[in-house]
Amino acid sequence: MHILITGGAGFVGSHIAISFKEKYPHYKVTCLDNLKRRGSELNLTRLKAHAITFVHADIRNPEDLEGIEPFDCLIDASAEPSVLAGLNSSMTQLINNNLFGTVNCLELAKKFQAKFIFLSTSRVYPIASLESVVTSELPTRFTWQSAQTLPGVSEKGISEDFPLTGSRSFYGATKLASELLIQEYFSVNNLPTVINRCGVIGGAGQMGKVDQGFMVLWVARHYWQQKLNYIGYGGEGKQVRDVLHPTDLFKLIDIQIHSIKTFAGKTFNIGGGLKNSISLQELTTLCEKSTGKATLIDKIKENRPLDLKVYISDYSQIETLCGWSPTIPVSQIVDEITEWIQKNERMLEPILNT
């Protein structure tokens, strides 16, 4: 099998590429990336060490894709990942990356009638609806109550039945628009497609920033003892997310591409789930334990646009279909990030300690 991964030099893309090559040494794996995101060039040595082909190209430019060799599966891990994109800047780059880029990838997959795995986002769900979910406040976190009025929400999290009507951010809108087009390619062109709506993905190798990759950001700020902020919802750090390790995501994609008929045309919520959820306050405790350091955290009570009190992925549909569920706990993810920073401190400090 020949697997093409767009965004293949990024955190998720490179991890999936290397995982495939380690499990299936006889497979050909090609990573395509424009190397725009800071730190992505650091993965090129790792890709080369695993005999993974790298193509420096941009999915926004169809001509960049013309020379790609035939492949059996395209995993689209390329995107402008910031939920703040387009908020105080031009929409052009966001739409070119996350919508037109997806179309170019779909056309490329159609050319070879290849399997198409799309990494979408939980941010396709409307913010106002998510914020209207009934919560309770515990000593260290907010939690969802069992009795709800909206469909698709329970203590386990948000399922695929949650309503999609409403505003969700420019970022989320581009990903949802891509999902709609993917469904058309499946229906009209018989392209075997799968949509995975991913929540937070975190782990060693991620170049975390304020707007994306908060797990690495939190560990790094503790490691270098740089100030952090609990922002919004009273400034107590009780907002909650579930976290997925990229190895668990790889295990799912591995199942999907080798049993594509089971999953084709479907959309799945993918994440760490309730058992792998954590609040910022709880994450602070883990970071202090893992790094052996504490840092100053200011409390800012006012909410920011696009913030969410709680988001947890209900992955029941995919678990029922194939038995997949996350295996790597948040505590292990934090420890792996700490170890990675310790081993690569000199290289990472200019990127993460800013």
Q: Going by DSSP bridges, is the β-strand pair 142-144/73-76 parallel, antiparallel, or unpaired?
A: unpaired
**Angle of CA points 9, 15, 19, to nearest 5°:** 130
Question: In the predicted model, is pLDDT for residue 265 greater than 90?
Answer: yes
Are 76 and 135 contained in the same domain? no
Percent of the chain with pLDDT over 70: 99
Non-local CB neighbours of 323 within 8 Å, separated by 6+ positions: none
Question: In the predicted model, is pLDDT for residue 172 greater than 80?
Answer: yes
Q: What is the mean pLDDT of residues 301-316?
A: 96
Residue 95's domain comprises 1-125+168-198
Q: What is the mean pLDDT of residues 142-151?
A: 93
Q: What is the mean pLDDT of residues 262-273?
A: 98
Can you tell me the distance from the alpha carbon of 72 to that of 28, in angstroms, rounded to the nearest whole number?
A: 10
pLDDT range class, residue 146, cuts 50, 70, 90: confident
CA distances from 247 to 58, 111, 216 (A): 26, 30, 16
Question: In the predicted model, is pLDDT for residue 120 greater than 80?
Answer: yes
Are 135 and 42 contained in the same domain? no
Are 67 and 150 contained in the same domain? no
Are 280 and 213 contained in the same domain? yes
Are 16 and 94 contained in the same domain? yes
Are 32 and 116 contained in the same domain? yes
pLDDT in tens, 16-66: 999 999 999 999 999 999 998 877 898 999 999 999 999 999 999 999 999
The CATH number of whichever domain residue 337 belongs to comes to 3.90.25.10
Are 282 and 174 contained in the same domain? no
What single-letter amino acid sits at 29?
V
pLDDT in tens, 62-87: 999 999 999 999 999 998 888 888 88
pLDDT of res. 282:
98
Residue 23 lies in a domain: yes
Question: In the predicted model, is pLDDT for residue 211 greater than 70?
Answer: no
Are 222 and 316 contained in the same domain? yes
* Structure token digits, residue 259: 């049993």
Query: Mean pLDDT in the chain?
Result: 96
pTM above 0.85, yes or no: yes
Residue 216 lies in a domain: yes
Half-sphere exposure of 249 (CA within 13 A, CB side): 32
Phi, psi of 2, rounded to the nearest 5 degrees? -110, 120
Per-position b or e across 275-297, b if 16+ CB within 10 A of its CB: ebbbbbbbbbebbeebbeeebeb
Are 35 and 151 contained in the same domain? no
Question: In the predicted model, is pLDDT for residue 167 greater than 80?
Answer: yes
Are 87 and 177 contained in the same domain? yes
The count of structural domains within the chain is: 2
Q: What is the mean pLDDT of residues 150-175?
A: 96
Are 142 and 193 contained in the same domain? no
Can you tell me the distance from the alpha carbon of 206 to that of 214, in angstroms, rounded to the nearest whole number?
A: 10
The CATH number of whichever domain residue 93 belongs to comes to 3.40.50.720
Are 84 and 147 contained in the same domain? no
